């Protein structure tokens, strides 16, 4: 069992939307590193920290779970789709995704500011690394546990 953090802009798709839909294909990832995490390393049942980016304040909003094996992101084939990729094709698909299932909101929102106050424990937490732009990143088990404890604090 592995743990992940996935970013989304709440104006586009936030934790409330996930709660409403329950399960959602995590489409639109167009970064190879992020894709590789989904395609090569995610397993059904893995834990996901649902992070709100590009909002005030940014932070972790809830918990979700990987709900499918990786499969081809359908939006890459659709010329009308925002995430259409003309270099992708049905026989040579570039982008894969997984479905994400809603588990729960955090009891309280953990802002990026607050997380930054714990860099002593959250060393090498990718989210806190300078210049980090990855939308999908691995979370170590100890960090996962620590963050869920912070929620109670």
Partner DNA sequence: GCCAACGTTGGC
131 binds DNA (CB under 7 A): yes
Binding mask 47-86 for DNA (x = CB under 7 A): ------xxx-xx----------------------------
Shortest reach from residue 135's CB to DNA, in Å: 5
CA pair distance 91, 121, nearest whole angstrom: 45
The reply to whether 112 sits near DNA by the rule CB under 7 A is yes
Note the helical H segments in the chain.
Answer: 15-21, 32-36, 112-116, 141-150
Query: Strand ranges (DSSP E) for 73-123?
Result: 96-97, 99-111
130 binds DNA (CB under 7 A): yes
| Main-chain phi, psi angles of 27, to 5 degrees | -85, 170
Stretch that binds DNA, among 17-25, 27-35, 40-48, 95-103 (CB under 7 A): 27-35
Using CA atoms, how far apart are residues 112 and 7, in angstroms rounded to an integer? 12
Q: Which residues bind DNA (CB under 7 A)?
A: 7, 9, 30-32, 53-55, 57-58, 87, 112-113, 116, 130-135
């Amino acid at each position: 069992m592995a743990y992940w953090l996935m970013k989304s802009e709440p104006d586009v798709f936030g934790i409330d939307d996930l709660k409403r839909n329950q399960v959602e294909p995590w489409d639109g990832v167009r970064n190879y590193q992020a894709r590789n995490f989904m395609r090569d390393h995610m397993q059904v049942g893995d834990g996901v920290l649902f992070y709100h980016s590009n909002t005030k304040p940014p932070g972790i909003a809830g918990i979700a779970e990987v709900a499918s094996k990786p499969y081809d992101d359908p939006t890459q084939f659709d010329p009308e789709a925002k995430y259409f990729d003309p270099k992708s094709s049905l026989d040579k698909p570039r982008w894969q995704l997984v479905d994400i299932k809603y588990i729960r909101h955090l009891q309280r929102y953990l802002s990026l500011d607050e997380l930054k106050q714990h860099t002593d424990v959250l060393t090498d937490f990718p989210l806190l690394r300078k210049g980090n732009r990855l939308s999908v990143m691995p979370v170590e088990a100890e960090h996962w546990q620590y963050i869920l404890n912070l929620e109670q604090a």
